[in-house]
Amino acid sequence: MTAPVLAASALPTADFSEDTWWIWVVKAVAILAFLVVSVLFALWVERRGLGRMQTRPGPNVTGPLGFGQAVADALKLVLKEDFWLKGADKLIYLLGPFIAAFSAFMVYAVLPFGPEVSMFGITTPLQLTDMPVAVVYILAITALGVYGIVLGGWSSNSTYPLLGAVRSSAQIISYELSMGLSLVSVFLVSGSMSTSQIVDAQTQMWWIVSLLPAFVIYFVSMVGEVNRLPFDLPEAEGELVAGHMVEYSSMKFAWYFLAEYINMMNVSGVAVTLFLGGWRAPWPLSAIGDGVLNTGWWPVLWFVVKVWLLMFAMIWIRGTLLRFRYDQFMKLGWKVLIPVALVWLVAVAIIQGVRQFADVDLTTMLLWIAGAFGVLMVVLLLWPDGKRPEEPERAEARGGRADIVPATSDFDAFAGGYPVPPLPGQTLPPSPRRARREAAMAAAQNEKERNDVR
């Protein structure tokens, strides 16, 4: 099967010509209600799901199956005492959570939930709006959202929020690059950056099949983009408490919390639209009745189910993996994802160029290249950083030079005024406390031996 690669002008486009202002209002309110209810449901699914994964019940008292606990937590944030920091920049301190929440709510405006339907006698697409550069709009909005995190951490006039904000800015820069590169191959194959046209281009085959490396890169990047385990370095409970949100309470904290879960819905919706066929029913359901399940209101169900499959995958990852170290986190982004995304993009561009002059099966070529890139990603991920210098004793035992490794007596962790960790090949001198403990243990052992002799 050969996937269609059409010019943007040849693809069908969502027709909004019959829309009126009140249809726009109805669609916008429906999207807002869908996102807010999804956040409440996500809180329940995550807490109950993680509970089952960790052999504990999870919330099971408030409401049926504990669902009322999510509502109770939301009400608690609304009714909680709100405080303002004396040393904070008041305007930016309030603006931070507003930017984060506003950016989160804007992404679903260009994601199609389904085809054209009849709504109150008006034929309209199940999409608020679309544009020729809809995916670029999504990337711009997500980039704007990080300003809410950075400004919130900076305006708090506190050390821990600032550290969380700095970590977040580094994380967004790293993983937005790989995310954007993974999406460019979708543009090349679909021939458009419009979300509705990208969905239409997946009529015969979803791009997750032929663009599997791009989907893998996007999936890893989207988990890092929304600060979820194992990439939740901006919040890192053991190090930074709550990251940039440390000095926030009540509704200001709730806006950040709401934005985080809505962003999970956002990245999942983008993945469904660009790689999983959008609102189209999966095979074999799509073959029932000549595609009757791809018409009317049925596609809304398929879209929501696909989004929640990805949401559950992120929850599953949180209950399975441990947090990365920061060096591992940056290595994965800059040394694995970005190089592989660049090479994959060049390969797809070359294939598209070849197909302009020869009738080549796109599916076969992309699948072979996808397999090769899967092997390349594993090799880059497992490739060692370098051989650690041997300790002096081991070097001498093997006949090597021991003077190439800094001597233990020369290393002073406090030489620069601040404690620093030892470099590879260096070891810290034994701590005085350990020396005293070993001396006390030796004295006790000697005393015991003398008593045994007597």
Instruction: State the DSSP string of 212-241.
Output: HHHHHHHHHHHHHHTT-TTS-TTT-HHHHT
Confidence of residue 19 (pLDDT cuts 50, 70, 90): confident
What is the rounded CA–CA span in Å between residue 60 and residue 63?
Answer: 8
Confidence of residue 210 (pLDDT cuts 50, 70, 90): confident
**Nearby residues of 360 by Cβ (< 8 Å), 6 or more positions away:** 351, 354
What is the rounded CA–CA span in Å between residue 28 and residue 105?
Answer: 10
Average pLDDT estimate for 72-98: 83
ω before 424 within 30° of 0 (cis)?
A: no
Q: What is the pLDDT of residue 287?
A: 74
Taking the alpha carbons at both ends of the chain, their separation in whole angstroms is 92
Closest CA to 269 of 13, 14, 31: 31
Residue 332 near residue 378 (C-beta atoms within 8 A): no
Confidence of residue 410 (pLDDT cuts 50, 70, 90): low
The percent of residues above 90 in pLDDT, for the chain, comes to 13
Taking the domains of the chain in order of start, what are their residue ranges?
26-79, 81-285+293-382
Answer whether residue 31 shows pLDDT above 90. Answer: yes
The residue to which tokens 């070359």 are assigned: 350
Answer whether residue 23 shows pLDDT above 80. Answer: yes
Confidence of residue 239 (pLDDT cuts 50, 70, 90): low
440: tokens are 């006390």
For residue 114, the cross-strand partners are 126
Answer whether residue 392 shows pLDDT above 70. Answer: no
DSSP 336: I
> Other CB atoms closer than 10 Å to residue 80's CB: what's the count?
13
pTM for the model stands at 0.76
Closest CA to 202 of 191, 218, 217: 191
410: tokens are 């020369």
Q: Is 118 helix (H, G, I), strand (E, B) or coil?
A: strand
pLDDT in tens, 245-273: 778 888 888 888 888 899 999 999 999 99
Q: What is the pLDDT of residue 376?
A: 72
Is the pLDDT higher at 414 or at 162?
A: 162
